Structure 1
Amino acid sequence: MRTHPYFIILLVLTIFGSTNTFAQRTKKVAATMTLPLEDSHCVGSFKQDLLRQTQIKALAKEFGTIVQQGNDLTVTNKENGFEASSGTELTTLTSSEVKGEWISTTESSFEWILKQEGGKQVVYLKCSVEGKARAIDDTPIGFTASTLSCNQTGNCETTTFQDMQSLYVGFQSPVNGYMSIFMREKDKVYRLFPYSSTNGEKGNAAEVKADQEYIVFSPEHATEMGISPRIVDELQLTTMGEDRLFNRVYVVFSPKPYKKPILDEENGGLKTLSPEDFEKWLSKNKGMNKEFQDKIIYISVAK
């Protein structure tokens, strides 16, 4: 069984692909959000979650929401000079509930703010983000993807893993298409699927059938994709000696074939590229193919 270093946080958020053509103009969008850091929060997870929610806030502000109810997590506290939670119960929007799609980030920043409340100090994190986005006019293809701790669907779905625990990914789409899986670890992106020994056109993306349930990284389920069990890369998660690691798993899908990005080969056969090149590849495909979609799954691995 092959061991690879990686993985990440406690929230599953989806980013649905573009439903417009490359010719449609993108818009500049921006938002700022400030939330308190609770004792139960992991800082890495909290920052990623806040950034994503700030992006969603920017999309909702520019393009509106699909749901009739839902707020953007914060209210304005002008007395203190920054946005903050005021104790009001607010609903978290997801990217599937806004009428816009985030294409690329042009600028982002974080600022820690210390505030005295009720005789104690409360730490807030302020996130500001600017980027390019565009409107969504059609309903995206509703494929499902999840990370699993065993090679069965159902009770094995999780985003929190232990050191040396196996990783599997479940996938299902309502239409025929092509699927691939990537994982971002700090300053590197790994292409996990198609498997490292897959070459030629099949090395771009794996063909999947409508309504078929797939489990990736499991030799027992290889034949469902017409793949020999011998070429399956079985993955184990490890902290590499740290207490906890965080990362992002990207499941990419399109009804149309698409080309993989340019990849380098690591020791052990895994293919990699830089986060910058990966984001450019995603943005270009979203611009050229209105049905190109990706889902991000945040997972963590701990000792």
Structure 2
Amino acid sequence: MKKYTSLLFLLIFPLTLSAQKTEKVCGEYTYYAPADKTLEQAKQIALERAKIQALADEFGTIVSQSNATLMQNENGKTDSHFFSLSNSEVKGEWLEDQGEPEYQINYEQGMLVIKCSVCGKARAITNKAVDFTALILRNGTEEKFASVDFRNGDDMFLFFQAPTDGYIAVYLVDQTPTAYCLLPYQSDGNGQQPVKHGEKYVFFSPKLAKDTKSLVDEYTLTCSGTIEHNQVYVIFSPNPFTKALDSQQNSSLPRQLSYEDFSKWLGKCRKRDEKMGMKRMDIEIKKN
């Protein structure tokens, strides 16, 4: 029995060492929105910058001179156009939200002002995640059609290429927010989408499908209001992983799950797998 216990300890111990430490981080940011930004746009920008600020405060920045330097406009208000930090400049990465972000919405001299506070789990960047190329394509399957600006009725495709063999998943998060699984395809019972190193893929196109022609889902983006803002998450790892648990709620829509459940799933996957990379692209859909 003692030998069994010792062996079990030896098996678990390396796994414990490989798990990277995560930290709870919190940040806030006040965004002075220009006139061309809607309330939802302003809230999203404030949220993202609050997260970036939290990462910068906890882990620091790559360029020390850019450490949360803020410029002022002629009215003495923070000019959001001069916010100096970006996701590529901070030394940490956001894994998952903890609780709901809090917003304070005011108007000062006719200007929309949003203060956002947010907390989440994050970790220091180790540079172990595999880099890859992902482009959203509008109404065409070549790289020259790369765009994040769509109109009601436009078709969406995804260009993808990675330097190693691995697995990919793609999700779209709408404004409600709900997460929709775009890849693996709905009819694929494996829950995994393998890709080969160096291969160029165009997903959501039956014509260009390599091994899954009969499974391909095609996507046409629609806008129920004047304008909508969605996010597309492209997740890749050289290690096998299975998509999040989702369900079919509407036959005309992809399988879905709540944004909270999606965020928890993604956070857990990235904690376990330091080589998992994620790219989030914001897309805009206009009615006309």
Question: Shorter-normalised TM-score: what interval?
Answer: 0.7 to 0.9
1:101-153 CA distance string (max 9 Å, x none):
1122224211123334xxxx433211111222121223532212121103333
Higher relative contact order by CA 8 Å / sep ≥ 6: 1 or 2? Answer: 1
1:254 aligns with 2:227: no
Number of residues of Structure 1 aligned to a counterpart in Structure 2: 267
Structure 2 counterpart of 1:106, from 98, 110, 119? 98
Measure the CA separation in 2 of the matches of 1:91 and 1:53.
Answer: 9
Conservation of the 8 A alpha-carbon contact between 2:162 and 2:197: yes
* Residue in 1 that maps onto 2:40: 44
Measure the CA separation in 1 of the matches of 2:124 and 2:273.
Answer: 15
* Residue in 2 that maps onto 1:214: 201
* Residue in 2 that maps onto 1:277: 261
Q: What amino acid maps onto 1:236 in structure 2?
A: T
Conservation of the 8 A alpha-carbon contact between 2:71 and 2:82: no
Which ranges in structure 1 are unaligned for 5 or more consecutive residues?
A: 1-19
Measure the CA separation in 2 of the matches of 1:273 and 1:195.
Answer: 15
Conservation of the 8 A alpha-carbon contact between 1:70 and 1:91: no
* Residue in 1 that maps onto 2:212: 227
Q: What amino acid maps onto 1:109 in structure 2?
A: E
Measure the CA separation in 2 of the matches of 1:139 and 1:260.
Answer: 21
Distance verdict in 2 for CA 1:92–1:170, change over 3 Å: farther
Conservation of the 8 A alpha-carbon contact between 1:21 and 1:287: no
TM-score (norm: length of structure 1): 0.80
Which ranges in structure 2 are unaligned for 5 or more consecutive residues?
A: 1-15
Structure 2 counterpart of 1:190, from 159, 180, 205? 180
Measure the CA separation in 2 of the matches of 1:122 and 1:73.
Answer: 22
Q: What amino acid maps onto 1:155 in structure 2?
A: K
Structure 1 counterpart of 2:55, from 52, 59, 72? 59
TM-score (norm: length of structure 2): 0.84
- 1:99: how far off? 1.0
Whose strand proportion is higher, 1 or 2?
1
- 1:249: how far off? 1.2
Measure the CA separation in 2 of the matches of 1:72 and 1:153.
Answer: 38
How many percent identity over aligned positions? 34
Q: What amino acid maps onto 1:94 in structure 2?
A: S
- 1:237: how far off? 0.8
RMSD: 2.5
Measure the CA separation in 2 of the matches of 1:76 and 1:31.
Answer: 20
Rg bigger for which structure? 2
Measure the CA separation in 1 of the matches of 2:69 and 2:199.
Answer: 37
Secondary structure at 1:46 match in 2: helix
